[in-house]
Homo-oligomer: A and B are copies of this chain.
């Protein structure tokens, strides 16, 4: 998964009415499915949740392996998927990558699923 092939979440949100308002196009469905696939994984949901609950909604990758009980490389893979999909942002602090919640990214997906 590469950032260049993904429709940014802000575009997904801007382009589409909620899923249940009118039939979505194949292109819109493909974009939303890609975003949903990125978070449709128990470990990735837990990582998002832990990052969100951290101070400043940012956490060092070094603090994320122990809570999910997986290796650093597996956690790094999951963090990359979430970053490529636009749910997390990444910045380097010394030798460690820090990950922060991208404001509005989860909300964009939630808005598309809301029926009211």
Contacts and interface: CB of A to CB of B under 8 A. Distances in A.
Interface of A: 19-24, 26, 29-30, 32-33, 36-37, 39-46, 48-50, 52-53, 57, 67, 101, 103, 106-107, 109-111, 113-116
Contact of A111 (B29, B67, B110): B110
Given A114-B110, A115-B106, A115-B107, A23 B49 contact: yes
A43 B23 contact: no
A41 B101 CA distance: 24
Main secondary structure of the interface of A (DSSP, over half): helix
Given A29-B43, A45-B29, A22 B53 contact: yes
B19 A42 contact: no
Given A29-B49, A49-B23, A115-B106, A39 B42 contact: no
A106 B20 contact: yes
